[in-house]
């Protein structure tokens, strides 16, 4: 039986890079496999991981410095294995700022997956559509975002905890070739797929009718509460990024209906095979 290192999230004496390195070593001790692609599975999308032939599955609670996943339908485990003969590392469940995590903690797994070897990040989420041409179950490939979620030091009481990667944000964050590849998969397999702009809000509430109107007015196609921190981190670690949004509810601000977390999970699950098709196609090109 492998000896488990205790999870010491509250280790302010360690530098950020020491935490990343301890978490990476913990995984490394248990597998020699070097993942090429990192996958973050958002709300209702965790099932994609079941297509991976697993070599190693680690609950977040066992990985040093990993936060715990509390959000609905987020399983909270890291899976290393193969999909389409490519080694991947997947997060079944992610960390949201609305759960109370400091930004640096929420993006630590991205550093760890990059340090394990991944140079592509595929990140997914469930979102609310504000583009009236979108329908529940559609996929939107993110080609841009508007970050209304945090500024550089939001939620950071201790400046030394700032994730180093976020100190050097880029501007062309989303890989154009990967966007094209995703769109082509949608066309080939005949499902509705769009390219658009994701607006990130901190949440935790789904938006009010005024917020949905604002999101549309400022140029958003969908709105959600995640993804931007991971994208910024991955980009500044020189990873190529593909971000896929499963549209679960389409907001009609004038006749707004209640959105429930259960409904979001159910519709995201319906979109999951489309996501799997895109990821599988991408891996075949590597
Ligand atoms: N707003 C924010 N996040 C979401 C939504 C929404 O309407 N639907 C799914 N995730």
CATH number at residue 54: 3.40.50.1580
226 CA distance to ligand 1 middle (Å): 10
Residue nearest to atom 6 of ligand 1 (CA): 128
4 occurs within a structural domain? no
Residues 6 or more apart whose CB falls under 8 angstroms from that of 156 comprise 102, 103, 104, 162
Neighbours of 219 (CB within 10 A): 12
Q: Which two tokens stand for residue 149?
A: 């979620």
Supply the pLDDT for residue 241.
97
What residue has token string 């931007």? 228
131 occurs within a structural domain? yes
1 occurs within a structural domain? no
Residue-number span of the structural domain to which 196 is assigned:
16-284
Supply the pLDDT for residue 70.
65
Supply the pLDDT for residue 155.
45
Strand (E) or helix (H) holding 83:
strand 77-83
**What is the tens place of the pLDDT at every residue in 99-110?**
888 888 899 999
Supply the pLDDT for residue 269.
87
Q: How would DSSP label each residue in 201-230?
A: E--SSPPPHHHHHHHHHTT-SEEESSSHHH
Residue nearest to atom 10 of ligand 1 (CA): 127
263 occurs within a structural domain? yes
* Low-confidence residues of the chain: pLDDT under 70: 1-12, 69-74, 151-170
Residue nearest to atom 9 of ligand 1 (CA): 127
Supply the pLDDT for residue 156.
43
Q: Are 75 and 92 in contact (CB under 8 A)?
A: yes
pTM score of the predicted model: 0.90
Q: Which two tokens stand for residue 74?
A: 């987020």
202 occurs within a structural domain? yes
188 occurs within a structural domain? yes
Instruction: Provide the H-helix boundaries in 40-157.
Output: 103-116
Residue nearest to atom 5 of ligand 1 (CA): 128
What percent of the chain has a predicted confidence (pLDDT) above 90? 64
Per the structure, the count of domains in the chain is 1
SS3 assignment, position 149: coil
Ligand 1 pocket test: which of 264, 268, 270 has the largest number of ligand atoms within 8 Å of its C-beta?
264
204 CA distance to ligand 1 middle (Å): 10
Residues 6 or more apart whose CB falls under 8 angstroms from that of 40 comprise 90, 91, 94, 109, 110, 121, 122, 123, 124, 230
Q: What are the start-end ranges of the E strands in 172-278?
A: 193-201, 222-224, 240-250
SS3 assignment, position 39: strand
Nearest ligand 1 atom, CA 259: 7
223 CA distance to ligand 1 middle (Å): 6
173 occurs within a structural domain? yes
Residue nearest to atom 2 of ligand 1 (CA): 224
265 occurs within a structural domain? yes
Residues 6 or more apart whose CB falls under 8 angstroms from that of 172 comprise none
264 CA distance to ligand 1 middle (Å): 7
Supply the pLDDT for residue 266.
86
SS3 assignment, position 178: helix
Q: Are 44 and 266 in contact (CB under 8 A)?
A: yes
Supply the pLDDT for residue 166.
60
128 CA distance to ligand 1 middle (Å): 4
């Amino acid at each position: 039986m492998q000896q488990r290192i205790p999870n010491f999230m509250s280790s302010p004496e360690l530098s950020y890079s020491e935490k990343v390195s301890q978490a990476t070593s913990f995984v490394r001790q248990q597998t020699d496999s070097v993942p090429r692609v990192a996958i973050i599975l958002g709300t209702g999308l965790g099932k994609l991981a079941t297509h991976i032939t697993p070599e190693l599955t680690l609950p977040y609670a066992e990985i040093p410095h990993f936060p715990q996943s509390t959000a609905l339908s987020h399983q909270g485990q890291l899976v290393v294995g193969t999909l389409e003969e490519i080694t991947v590392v997947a997060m079944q469940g992610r960390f949201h700022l609305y759960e109370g995590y400091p930004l640096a903690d929420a993006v630590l797994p991205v550093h760890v997956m990059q340090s394990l070897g991944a140079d592509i990040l595929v990140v997914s989420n469930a979102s609310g559509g504000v583009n009236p041409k979108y329908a529940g179950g559609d996929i939107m490939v993110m080609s841009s975002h508007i970050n209304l979620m945090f500024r550089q030091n939001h939620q950071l009481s201790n400046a030394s905890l700032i994730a180093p990667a976020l100190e050097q944000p880029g501007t062309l964050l989303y890989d154009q070739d990967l966007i094209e590849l995703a769109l082509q998969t949608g066309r080939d397999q005949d499902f509705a797929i769009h390219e658009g702009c994701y607006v990130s809000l901190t949440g935790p509430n789904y938006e009010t009718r005024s917020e949905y109107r604002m999101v549309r007015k400022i140029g958003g196609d969908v709105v959600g509460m995640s993804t931007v921190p991971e994208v910024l981190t991955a980009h500044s670690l020189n990873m190529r990024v593909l971000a896929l949004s499963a549209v679960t509810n389409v907001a009609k601000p004038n006749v707004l209906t209640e959105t429930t977390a259960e409904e979001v999970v159910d519709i995201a699950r319906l979109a999951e095979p489309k996501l799997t098709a895109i990821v599988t196609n991408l891996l075949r090109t590597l």
